[in-house]
Structure 1
Amino acid sequence: MPGRRSRRREAEPAVSWSGPEPARRAAVPAAGSGLAVLPLRSSDPDSAAARIDELVDAGLAAAGVPPAAPADDATFLRRSFLDLTGTLPTAAEARAFLADRSPDKRARLVDELLARPEFADWWAMRWADILRVKAEFPIRLWPNGAQAYHRWIREAIAGDLPFDQFARRL
């Protein structure tokens, strides 16, 4: 009934804290000591790649997994094309890459694939799938809205928009 107070007792909590609250136990770094204020160590891509290799090697060693041998040129070519453009190389592209003896041919291939329109097309499609950009459930964009959203994603990728800015603008 409205206006009557319940005579039932409040149930005991399932969990009770025994000690200080977690927020009071957490260590808070001093101002200016976080990673965001540290200067960049190097903008050299080779040193960044070496650092990534160190981290991967340490993880493999900790797991007791021996590192795999480097991929041969044909495998590298196929994987690079599929990962970056979603397509296979043409026969002429494969012959030219495999015949090239320069030590930087892999880096040049990746740079060439990143500059292709197929890279932007492939990754725009993948991001649109992840973000569920379509004219139906769950966001029910009208068709022109879905096309505009997809076009923005493609232009952001083709324009090499940094990932942090891409994420913020979504």
Structure 2
Amino acid sequence: MICWGGKQMSGSPHFSKQWLFAAFLCIGISLLNVAARSAEPKSEEEWKPPKLPEAVTVKPEGTVLTVALIDRDTRPEIEQAAAQIDSILQAYWKENGTKTIDKTNDHEFVRRAYLELAGRIPTIDEARTFCDSTNRKKRGRLIDDLLESPGYVSHFYNYWADILRLKERPSRDIFFEPYMAWVKESIAENMPYDKWVNSLLTANGRVVENPATGFQLRDAGMPLAYVDNTVRVFLGTQIGCAQCHD
């Protein structure tokens, strides 16, 4: 016996469209209520953060370059130099009545650190692990960990590839592949900047034997373009207009 609209019907029920719609609607609401109850956050006593190291870096698929390790013993010297810079800025702000903002919190810091050094935002586990850590030196350690990650190499290779006008194409470029690989390896090995620039500007020979020659071969046969781009990249000055104007 089925009740519908206040009336009783005996025998075989007639499953009208309205009846079926109401039945499915009731079932749907019940399922939504169950899902909502299961999605309710657990209490603080029940929830425990995952056990992870202070910095977890996501490695890209494929060949991963060996990244040079940071000499962490030099951090006191770096912090001392940073403190001197901070004191100069603070003195200037005080003299000019500049209003400063508060120190960034851990949530803001971990996001900015990953964006600046790895070119991406942290995963939930990475951000949670960093923010939950009580280590007073965790910010410096996170920076060092990111500088040793493949993500750092990939991010800064993209930065320099734009400046040096390097493009990886679907088809193999035998002429420039050694040069592009050399740029990546230089970043991974933490080659000093002055040595890196000197290698680009003074390289000679064949690109397969001395990949740094790719910088000069990029504008082969175009001396004016070569000078223009060299000055733009390393001196930050545009002299291209001088090709046509005094």
TM-score under structure 2 normalisation? 0.46
1:114 to 2:144 alignment: no
Q: Secondary structure at the match of 1:88?
A: coil
Alignment of 1:48-59 (within 5 A): 48-59=81-92
- Size of the alignment, in residue pairs? 123
Q: Which residue of 75, 86, 92 corresponds with 2:108? A: 75
Tell me how far apart the structure 2 counterparts of residues 154 and 144 of structure 1 sit (CA, whole Å): 16
1:154 to 2:176 alignment: no
Q: CA RMSD in A?
A: 2.3
Structure 1 residues 146 and 62 mapped into 2: Cα distance closer, same or farther (>3 Å)?
farther
Structure 1 residues 166 and 88 mapped into 2: Cα distance closer, same or farther (>3 Å)?
same
Q: Percent sequence identity over matched residues? A: 35
Q: Which residue of 182, 189, 194 corresponds with 1:164? A: 194
Structure 1 residues 118 and 145 mapped into 2: Cα distance closer, same or farther (>3 Å)?
farther
Q: Secondary structure at the match of 1:144?
A: coil
Q: Secondary structure at the match of 1:101?
A: coil
1:47 to 2:80 alignment: yes
Q: Which residue of 92, 108, 128 corresponds with 1:95? A: 128
1:156 CA drift (Å) = 0.8
Structure 1 residues 148 and 59 mapped into 2: Cα distance closer, same or farther (>3 Å)?
farther
Tell me how far apart the structure 2 counterparts of residues 146 and 55 of structure 1 sit (CA, whole Å): 45
- Runs of 5+ consecutive residues of structure 1 not aligned to the other structure: 1-42, 137-141
Q: Which residue of 138, 143, 146 corresponds with 2:173? A: 143
Output the amino acid matched with 1:67: T
1:87 CA drift (Å) = 0.9
Please say which of residues 160-169 and 103-112 is displaced more in the overlay. Answer: 160-169
- Runs of 5+ consecutive residues of structure 2 not aligned to the other structure: 1-75, 201-246
Tell me how far apart the structure 1 counterparts of residues 112 and 193 of structure 2 sit (CA, whole Å): 23
Name which one, 1 or 2, has greater alpha-carbon Rg: 2
Structure 1 residues 144 and 68 mapped into 2: Cα distance closer, same or farther (>3 Å)?
farther
TM-score under structure 1 normalisation? 0.65
Tell me how far apart the structure 2 counterparts of residues 153 and 118 of structure 1 sit (CA, whole Å): 15
Tell me how far apart the structure 1 counterparts of residues 176 and 128 of structure 2 sit (CA, whole Å): 40
Higher relative contact order (CA 8 A, sep 6+): 2
